[in-house]
Amino acid sequence: MLTLLDQLDKGTLWRSPGGIHPPEVKFLSNATPIGQLPLASTYLVPVPQVGENCTLAVKVGDSVLKGTPLTQGTSIWHLPVHAPTSGTIVAIEPRASNHASALPVNTCVIAADGKDTWCELVQNQLDDLSHQQIVDKVRSAGIAGMGGAAFPTHIKLNPVSEIDLVIINGVECEPYISADDRLMREYSQDILAGIGIIHRLLTPKRIVIAIEDNKPEAAKAMQAAVSQCGLPVGSIRVTVIPTKYPSGGEKQLIQIITGREVPSGAIPAKLGIVVHNVGTAFAIHQAVTQGKPLIERVVTVTGKNVSKPGNYWLPIGTPVDHVLTATEFTPEPDQKVIIGGPMMGHALANIQVPILKGTNCILVPSSQEIGSTPEEKACIRCGECATACPALLLPQQLFWHAKAEEYDKAASYNLKDCIECGCCSYVCPSDIPLVEYYRIAKSALKQAADEKQQAERAKQRFDARLARLEEEKLAREAKAKEASERRQASMTGTDKNAVAEAMARIAAKKAAAAQAVTGESITEESSVTTTGSTEVPKGKAAVAAIARAKAKKAAQANADGTDTNGAETDSAKTDNMVNVDANDSISATDAIAQEAPLSQKDKVAAAIARAKAKKAAQQTDTAPLEPTETADSTSELSAADDKKAKVAAAVARAKAKKAAQQAETAASDVEASNTEISVSDVNDAEAIKKAKVAAAVARAKAKKAAQQAEINTENDLNQTATPAVDSAASVHADVNADAETAVNAAATDIAVSNTDVSVNDAEAIKKAKVAAAVARAKAKKIAAASAAESKTDAEIESVDEIQTEANVASPSIAATLDTATTEADAVLPSVGSTAEPIETAPLSSDELKKARIAATIAKAKAKKAALAQEANASSDSSVTND
């Protein structure tokens, strides 16, 4: 069996699948030698052209010579670009690209000076260079594949696997293009010199120069050059292949020459095969031996609308419009300018674009040559596209998925193996531009892959950053720990104590700051102390201080106000306790006011509270005292009655004290409610303190009234019958007056302290009034219960008489309560005029009426109990006298 090399030597060829035979039309340009065009005034050099990650080596205003590198980079995929002529860098800015999309790319704009002066070139002898030096020279020259793919040549010259076969592609199968044909005719020796360099680097077993049979002159020129080259005999040969499009494709040419098929996704180097274009071999020779970078190439300018068709040496970066002008281009309406051939080329949207390293043709066909673009019709599923496909793909399925934007499914049909030759579009009877759909799908897949890769790189950078930050944190902690251990090891006992004290001071300051910030909030939980069976809620520090001061002074007053033989009388003790409570309230208010500066509104509220307290004290001092019984009158009472009276008095005092505590609790609830309402609008500590002071004053006044009732009740039990009636009336009058005064004062204080509160304050005032009324009713009920213990049958008859009198007196009591309620309600407007005006929601008429009826009933019952007590006392007195 013949080996592959034997078959190559015999010239055996294999048939490639698919393909078409379009009109060649090469005669328009291949008849004349390669020419030169005048220099352009401006050259546009995109950066980068091949590869990425490059940096500019020039800046605006720099003067450059022909062949000067414009970019530099370290990436293996980077290829530098060079100045195509001498001149000045006038701009570095985005310009339209040589692409169907015309998307802008960064471009160096060079204003030519017309001298076309070369930079210094370094010529070398091939024998003096090593393999790596040759590859480096090819790379620094910026050489890319000249057949159109523009793949970096230095990568192909340094493969990782052993190469057995090198194919030099001179097929040039696409219609109209004849650049390689003329290059092989005119520069065959230079091409063979470049092939010799490739042979030295790759050391293949065979080199095959493939040429289509429609280029007989090129085949003869290359055969003559082979016979004169210094390569080993039999290692290189020229093979002529049948003309068919696209036999010039890399994978298709390999299959024709060797019969092998490159697997999907693989490269020819895995089969031990490398393919280079004849133009690439020519550029390698110039770069290695003459030191010339790739700054120009042969370009076919053809089409019936060009007066001077042919092949020209065009510098990289030459504007297309300059080339068309120099070749006497005559445009038609809706004229198309195509870069590349009619099968694989693309129409330009803007002719102010440059010639690139992969540009091999500028085609300007007439309307008779290319015709109008036909309208796309529906696919009839004829299967012609699959027959013509040289890559053995399924164009119909690719079209369906690409049109539906199902790019992943299109990729599953090996979309990446499509070489975009255009055979499917050429044979499609429905005139569907299949290649355009494939290009869009490829672009979408490439973009998705790039985004995924960028996201992966970003994730890696983020993970690396987190790891770095964690390492730095651990390093700082370890360093701080070591420093702390060193300091502790070097510290003496005194230093340790000083540190502990400092830490304690810091903790205390933090606690004080936290209390200052959050301690004034209404949501702070107040502590609760239990006295007997009654829970008394504690306020903040100021309220607790007031409570302690009041308790201490009350104890002193009780100790000093004992019965006599040289002590104060009960009336004096009562006055003393009232003054103590009033002074406590005033002094506490002054003390809290001194802790922090008050605003004008707060000062007004404090002044009103002090005035109310002072007025209550003055009224107590000036009130006429009830006559007390002497020791003689007291001695007339029997021992049993005296004991019974004392027990009743003790019970009355206990119950009055309990009622006072409950009233104080209700006032605290009102205070908390009002503070909760106001805290949303008044956030400063001063307003909260003001509200608490006012509530404390109200509680003090309520307690004062309860204590006054208790003392008066005890005095009544020790008095004689006739004065007892007057004293009881006086006690109840005082209780009513004090209670009404406390209600008015509490309402006034609440109104003053809540001048910035919302309309919900009316509800709080209502609660305060109800609490005070409940306190009064309970005190009177206790007095009635105490008197009921000593009732006799005679007392019952007196009670009936007194009840009749109470019923008669009810209208006057109701009128008195109505007057007191009206006066309490009138306090708010008067106070509001002193401070800032507020808006309060008035009570409805039904609610006001119900409240007044309830208060009237409670007051009538209290009055009836007092009258009953007076009657009982009178009966006892008459029995004694008898």
- Quick: pLDDT tens for 295-314: 999 999 999 999 999 999 99
Q: Which residues pair with 346 in a beta bridge?
A: 339
Residue ranges of the chain with per-residue pLDDT less than 50: 521-540, 561-597, 623-638, 667-684, 717-761, 789-842, 877-882
The CB density around residue 161, as the number of other CB atoms within 10 Å, is: 11
Is residue 419 within 8 Å of residue 442, measured between CB atoms? no
Please report the pLDDT score of residue 77 as a whole number: 82
Burial class, 782, CB count within 10 angstroms (exposed 0-12 / middle 13-18 / buried 19+): buried
Is it true that the peptide bond before 597 is cis, omega within 30 degrees of 0? no
Helix (H) or strand (E) run with residue 299 in it: strand 296-302
| SS3 assignment for 770-811 | HHHHHHHHHHHHHHHHHHHCCCCHHHHHHHHHHHHHHHHHHH
Please report the pLDDT score of residue 534 as a whole number: 38
Q: Which positions ≥6 away from 508 have C-beta within 8 Å?
A: none
- Buried residues in 265-303 as b, exposed as e (16+ CB within 10 A): eebbbebbbbbbbbbbbbbbbbbbbebbbbbbbbbbbbb
Backbone angles phi, psi at 562, to 5 degrees: -70, 170
CA atoms within 13 A on the CB side of 799: 17
Please report the pLDDT score of residue 470 as a whole number: 96
Please report the pLDDT score of residue 523 as a whole number: 42
Burial class, 377, CB count within 10 angstroms (exposed 0-12 / middle 13-18 / buried 19+): exposed
Q: Which positions ≥6 away from 866 have C-beta within 8 Å?
A: 728, 729, 731, 732, 780, 783, 784
The CB density around residue 625, as the number of other CB atoms within 10 Å, is: 13
Please report the pLDDT score of residue 701 as a whole number: 73
Is residue 403 within 8 Å of residue 376, measured between CB atoms? no
Q: Which positions ≥6 away from 234 have C-beta within 8 Å?
A: 9
- Quick: pLDDT tens for 220-251: 999 999 988 878 878 899 999 999 999 999 99
DSSP character at residue 22: -
Is residue 304 within 8 Å of residue 368, measured between CB atoms? yes
Please report the pLDDT score of residue 870 as a whole number: 66
First to last CA, the chain: 163
Instruction: Return d(Cα 218, Cα 849) in angstroms, integer.
Output: 123
Quick one: CA dihedral 709, 714, 717, 723, positive or negative?
negative
Closest by CA position to 369, among listed 315, 437, 304:
304
